[in-house]
């Protein structure tokens, strides 16, 4: 497979995952606007969510006020925001267009339809749109693309590269979100049981589409330790760090098997090592070493794996 | 001026269209509109769009598709086929000759100046004979019809003719929307084209290749207006679609960068122009090319289709000599006519053209895509005078032809069905064999009365049928 093709498939996966992240952010942001705005705390929620996607400065500068219109515009439509749904879908479709020969017609069709529909929505008067329809639009289209990938793509190297993109992006998004909110998860006597506290945890879970799943997994009240466990170490949770990393390793193993001895496997080796390090911990150990320190380490390791993928496969061996 | 109508002769329906008459005449308006919308949605979904240079607006514009097919009888097609293959053989013989001994010039049949001083003549490949002596592997020949048995060649495209993906997709969409039409008519298939193309490319692999040849399509990139076609063909042939950045030269071969390391490339079907192929040999500012590629080509390490320099055969000034080439190289009489052409660098021709500008079509020698041309009878006095000034400034840049009475084919329009002018571009493949699929791309001028069929000028496309016997 051409290195450029692999690279585009990888980034297609990343951008589709990123579009979903943006849609969830939109959902959470909209919820925040529905709360009484006398509580400065809620505004901070929103800012920290934006920090996770690295765009809080841009929002403050360009929009300022946290209103539903501004949030929709920024998170969904704004092409100047590289993480907006529109930007991500456009980039994913562009990457797909470049490597069309590596996609099945169903995948291309789903990807292209999502972009055509996006353009239709962009032409509608904003007043006719509500936030729920925008998030539904995004999740339903990205799910269709993902479904088409899983149902129709050959299980070949291209499929591994797409899924590597998905996996690394997801791990990265969860880790970043946790990192900007890590202080909320630290057990602090004065907050326990206060409404604000529980609410903040819910925001995190919701931002990761995990608020219902959490209850199925743990039942009962939301506690900081369990939220962190669920999002970091619980292999049942689809967005947990360990799950995303496990899938990343699985796809790197697939590539290594397929390509054989002649091709370097430094990304696979590194990813295995990080996964083993994750598996060796429990949530108490992570709290003891410091949640922030742990997350910084993890984000750094992800970036190393990503660079190694680039070195091993995307430079064409020269 | 009267025009040959491909479907009707007075009230009588010509034989090839007999079965279509009922279909057209019984089709309710709302059904037609529904189907037209369906076709458009299909094209958009597949992503066949066409960017028009310099128009701005929607980058994903569709080329309008007309559902009314254009039909040839088997006998009509056989004759066209013979004529096209004859022309393709002559054009390749000409290229072999002008990059070799230049016999046709020594014999005084073509002026040396027109060949050796031609912009498209590539001095860097003089004496290099590509595999099987084939320079142009895919030749698109633009034909128009003026009467039952009268076809004229408007121009030859020896470099990288585009549009074949429309031929294939138009058929796919027609078969999907109107299967009953294909059951009732015996229509020759065209979908073997990608296989034939691949076989053609493999058959011209360089001598140094001793395994199954690796072929690729080289595209300028996804911003190119024909990118869809490049990826479509690569997909159907099962070959990689590469950009210049994916290829590199090492020693005597060319390689592509892959996830498993470098892989040797034997045949490049390039869809970029000569000047961009190799910055070391041609334009040093080309970002699209591969440094060192021409050295590999000249030493027989890679085949390039069409070969660099093939463009000298399809220039509008050389065009007038194609019948001469057929007589000179093949010893045959041309089966297809050339359009009478006045070359403005000759005094007599110049005088005639300037006196009759209002009746003629004037084209730039190196122009294409329907740009930079004057259609006298369809132009205003001001337009004609403005063009006259351009000609006076540089007469040798122009040729002129009579305004041909392009045949018309019934076409769905706003008010129902009406005749519109059409042309035809079949695609001839030259490798170990010379082949073409029965059909081609029919382009139709959708504006009433217009004779310009280029998609950049408001033209549309139709499915083209050849009926089997």
Q: What is B383-437 written as a DSSP string?
A: HHHHHHHHHHH-GGGEEEEE-----EEEEEETTEEEEEEEEEE-EEEESSSEEE-
Q: Does A313 touch chain B (CB under 8 A)?
A: yes
Q: Give the pLDDT confidence of A177-192 residue by residue, as tens digits.
A: 888 777 666 655 444 4
**Boundaries of domain holding A258:** 155-318
Say yes or no for a CB contact (<8 Å) between B243 and A4.
yes
Q: Look at residue B466 and give its three-state secondary structure.
A: strand
**Domain's final residue, options A138, A153, A168:** A153
**What phi and psi values does residue B170 have, to the nearest 5 degrees?**
-55, -40
Q: Which residue of A has its CA nearest to B228?
A: A97
**B-proximal residues of A, 32-91, CB under 8 Å:** none
Q: What is the pLDDT along chain B (469 residues), one digit of tens a residue?
A: 689 999 999 889 998 898 888 888 888 888 888 998 898 888 877 766 654 444 444 556 678 899 999 999 999 999 999 999 999 999 999 999 999 999 999 999 999 999 999 989 999 999 999 999 999 999 999 999 999 999 999 999 999 998 899 999 999 999 999 998 898 778 999 999 999 999 999 999 999 998 999 999 999 988 888 888 898 899 899 999 999 999 999 999 999 999 999 999 999 999 999 999 998 888 888 778 899 999 999 999 999 999 999 999 998 889 999 999 999 999 999 999 999 999 888 889 999 999 999 899 998 877 665 667 888 888 889 999 999 999 999 888 888 999 888 999 999 988 788 999 999 999 999 999 999 999 999 999 998 888 888 776 778 999 999 999 7
Q: Hey, where are the domains in chain B?
A: 8-206+302-334+405-466, 207-301, 340-402
Report chain A residues whose CB lies below 8 A from the CB of B59.
none
Domain count, chain A: 2
Q: B279 vs chain A: nearest CA distance in angstroms?
A: 20
Distance from CA of A93 to the nearest CA of B (A): 11
Contacts of B58 in chain A (CB under 8 A): none
A193: left (phi over 0), alpha (psi -120 to 50) or beta: left
CB contact under 8 A, A97 and B45: no
Tokens of A155: 């299980």
Q: CA nearest A134: which of A25, A54, A33, A56?
A: A25
Contact status, residue A30 vs residue A68, Cβ threshold 8 Å: yes
Q: Which of B240, B243, B262 sits opposite A316 (nearest CB)?
A: B262
The residues with which B429 forms a beta bridge, in sequence order, are B138, B435
Contact between B422 and B396 under an 8 Å Cβ cutoff? The reply is no
C-alpha torsion sign, points A100, A101, A102, A105:
positive
Q: How far apart are CA B349 and CA B340, in angstroms?
A: 11
The ipTM (two decimal places) reads: 0.78
Chain B hits for A97, CB-CB cut-off 8 Å, are 47, 222, 227, 231
Q: Examine the domain organization and report whether A174 and A312 are in the same domain.
A: yes
The whole-number pLDDT of residue B57 equals: 47
Do the chains contact at A262 and B260, CB–CB below 8 Å? yes
Same domain, A8 and A33: yes
A24 plus A124 within the same structural domain:
yes
Nearest by Cα to B120 from B371, B359, B308, B251? B308
Count how many pairs of residues, chain A against chain B, have C-beta atoms within 8 Å.
74
Q: Extract the runs of DSSP E, i.e. beta strands, from B12-167.
A: 12-13, 65-72, 138-147, 150-157
Nearest to B60 by CA among B69, B77, B48: B48
Same domain, A303 and A172: yes
Give the closest residue to B326 by CA, choosing from B89, B34, B67: B89
Fold topology of B340-402 = Dna Ligase; domain 1 (3.30.1490)
The reply to whether A124 and A159 lie within a common domain is no
Same fold, B207-301 and B340-402: no
Where are the strands (E) in B111-179, listed by range? 138-147, 150-157
Q: Do B246 and A100 touch (CB under 8 A)?
A: no
Q: Does A310 touch chain B (CB under 8 A)?
A: no
CB nearest A112 (choices: B47, B222, B261): B47
Contact (CB<8Å) B259/A108: no
Question: Which of B231, B232, B240 shows the shortest C-beta gap to A2?
Answer: B240
How far is residue B421 CA from its own chain's centroid? 18
Taking phi first (over 0 means left), then psi (-120 to 50 degrees means alpha), and beta for anything else, what does residue B458 get? left
CA distance, residue A310 to nearest chain B CA (Å): 10
User: Among A102, A133, A153, which residue terminates a domain?
Assistant: A153
Buried b (16+ CB within 10 A) or exposed e, A117-136: ebeebeeeeeeeeebeebbe
Asked whether residue A301 falls in the same domain as residue A178, the answer is yes
Q: What is the pLDDT of residue B259?
A: 94
**Distance of alpha carbon B92 from alpha carbon A22, whole angstroms:** 57
Residue B403 has a CB neighbour count (10 Å cut-off) of 15
Nearest-CB residue to A2 (from B45, B227, B257):
B257
pTM for the predicted model, two decimal places: 0.84
By C-alpha distance, the chain A residue nearest B217 is A101
Please judge whether B258 and A97 are an interchain contact, meaning their C-beta atoms are less than 8 angstroms apart. no
Measured in angstroms, the CA of B245 and the nearest CA of chain A are apart by: 9
Distance CA A231, CA A269 (A): 24
Tell me what the mean pLDDT of segment A88-94 comes to: 96
Tell me which residue has tokens 């797909």. A96
Clarify whether residues A148 and A159 are in a common domain. no
Chain A nearest CA to B288, separation (Å): 15
A139 and A222 inside one domain: no
Q: Which two tokens stand for residue B104?
A: 């046709």
b/e per residue B255-270 (b: at least 16 CB within 10 A): bbbbbbbbbbbbbbbb
Same domain, A17 and A164: no
Same domain as A168, residue A75: no
Beta bridge partner(s), residue A101: none
Same domain, A126 and A7: yes
Cα of A129 to nearest chain B Cα, Å = 24
Reading the block at residue A80, the tokens are 């100047």
Please state which architecture CATH assigns to domain B207-301: 3-Layer(aba) Sandwich (3.40)
- Phi/psi for A124 (5° steps) reads -75, 150
Question: What's the Cα-to-Cα distance from A18 to each of A68, A75, A84, B59, rounded to whole Å?
Answer: 21, 11, 8, 25
Partner residue facing A318 (CB), from B45, B46, B248 = B248
Which of A8, A97, A101 is the best substitution to test chain B (most B C-beta atoms within 10 A)? A101
Distance from CA of B117 to the nearest CA of A (A): 39
Residue B112 backbone phi and psi in degrees, to 5: -55, -40
* 8 Å CB contact of B262 and A317: yes
The reply to whether A135 and A191 lie within a common domain is no
| Alpha-carbon separation of residue B38 from B31, B35, B44 (angstroms) | 10, 5, 10
């Amino acid at each position: 497979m051409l290195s450029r093709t692999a690279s585009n498939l990888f980034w297609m996966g990343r951008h589709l995952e990123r579009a979903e992240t943006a849609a969830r952010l939109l959902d959470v942001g909209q919820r925040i606007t529905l709360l009484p705005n006398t509580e400065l705390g809620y505004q901070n929620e929103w800012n920290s969510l934006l920090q996770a996607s690295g765009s809080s400065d841009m929002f403050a500068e360009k929009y300022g006020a946290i209103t539903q219109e501004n949030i929709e515009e920024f998170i969904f439509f704004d092409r100047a925001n590289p993480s907006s749904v529109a930007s991500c879908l456009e980039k994913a479709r562009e990457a797909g267009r470049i490597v069309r020969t590596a996609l099945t017609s169903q995948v291309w069709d789903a990807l292209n339809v999502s972009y055509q529909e996006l353009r239709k929505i962009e032409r509608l008067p904003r007043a006719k749109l509500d936030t729920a329809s925008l998030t539904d639009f995004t999740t339903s289209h990205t799910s269709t693309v993902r479904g088409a990938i899983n149902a129709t793509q050959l299980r070949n190297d291209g499929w591994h590269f797409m899924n590597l993109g998905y996996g690394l992006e997801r791990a990265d998004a969860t880790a970043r979100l946790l990192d900007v909110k890590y202080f909320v998860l630290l057990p602090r006597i004065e907050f326990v049981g206060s409404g604000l506290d529980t609410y903040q945890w819910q925001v995190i879970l919701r931002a990761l589409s995990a608020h219902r799943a959490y209850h199925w997994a743990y039942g009962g009240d939301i506690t900081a330790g369990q939220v962190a466990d669920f999002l970091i170490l619980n292999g049942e949770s689809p967005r947990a760090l360990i799950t995303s990393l496990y899938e990343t390793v699985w796809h790197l193993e697939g590539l290594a098997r397929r390509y054989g001895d002649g091709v370097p496997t430094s990304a696979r080796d590194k990813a295995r090592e990080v996964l083993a390090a994750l598996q060796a911990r429990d949530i108490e150990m992570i709290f003891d070493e410091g949640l922030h320190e742990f997350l910084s380490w993890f984000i750094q390791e992800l970036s190393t794996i990503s660079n190694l993928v680039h070195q091993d496969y995307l430079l064409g061996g020269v | 001026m009267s025009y040959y109508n491909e479907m009707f002769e007075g009230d009588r329906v010509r034989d090839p269209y007999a079965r279509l008459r009922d279909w057209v005449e019984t089709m309710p308006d709302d059904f037609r509109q529904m189907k037209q919308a369906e076709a458009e949605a299909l094209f958009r979904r597949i992503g066949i769009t066409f960017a028009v240079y310099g128009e701005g607006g929607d980058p994903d514009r569709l080329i309008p598709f007309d559902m009314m097919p254009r039909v040839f009888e088997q006998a009509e097609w056989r004759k066209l086929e013979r004529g096209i293959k004859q022309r393709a053989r002559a054009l390749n013989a000409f290229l072999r000759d002008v990059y070799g001994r230049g016999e046709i010039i020594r014999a005084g049949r073509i002026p040396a100046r027109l060949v050796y001083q031609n912009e498209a003549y590539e001095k860097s490949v003089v004496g290099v004979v590509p595999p099987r002596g084939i320079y142009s592997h895919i030749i698109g020949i633009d034909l128009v019809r003026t009467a039952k048995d009268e076809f004229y060649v408007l121009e030859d495209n020896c470099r990288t003719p585009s549009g074949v993906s429309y031929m294939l997709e138009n058929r796919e969409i027609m078969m999907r929307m109107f299967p009953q039409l294909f059951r009732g008519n015996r229509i020759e298939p065209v979908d073997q084209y990608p296989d034939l193309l691949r076989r053609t490319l493999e058959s011209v692999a360089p001598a140094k290749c001793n395994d199954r040849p690796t072929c690729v399509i080289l595209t300028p990139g996804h911003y190119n207006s024909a990118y869809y076609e490049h990826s479509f063909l690569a997909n159907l042939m099962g070959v990689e679609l590469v950009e210049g950045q994916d290829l590199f030269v090492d020693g005597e071969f060319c390689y592509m960068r892959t996830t498993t390391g470098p892989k040797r490339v034997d045949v490049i079907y390039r869809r970029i122009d000569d000047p961009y192929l190799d910055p070391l040999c041609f334009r040093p500012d080309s970002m699209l090319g591969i440094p060192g590629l021409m050295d590999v080509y000249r030493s027989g390490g890679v085949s390039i289709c069409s070969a660099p320099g093939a463009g000298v055969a399809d220039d509008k000034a050389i065009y007038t000599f194609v019948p001469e080439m057929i007589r000179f190289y093949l010893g045959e009489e041309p089966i297809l006519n050339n359009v009478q052409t006045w070359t403005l660098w000759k005094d007599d021709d110049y005088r005639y053209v300037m006196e009759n500008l209002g009746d003629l079509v004037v084209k730039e020698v190196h122009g294409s895509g329907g740009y930079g041309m004057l259609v006298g009878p369809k132009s205003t006095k001001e337009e004609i005078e403005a063009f006259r000034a351009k000609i006076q400034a540089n007469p040798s840049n122009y040729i002129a032809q009579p305004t041909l009475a392009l045949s018309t084919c019934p076409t769905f329009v706003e008010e129902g069905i009406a005749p519109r002018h059409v042309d035809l571009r079949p695609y001839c493949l030259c490798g170990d064999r010379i082949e073409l699929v029965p059909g081609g791309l029919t382009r139709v001028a959708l504006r009433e009365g217009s004779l310009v069929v280029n998609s950049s000028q408001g033209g549309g496309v139709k499915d083209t049928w050849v009926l089997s016997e």
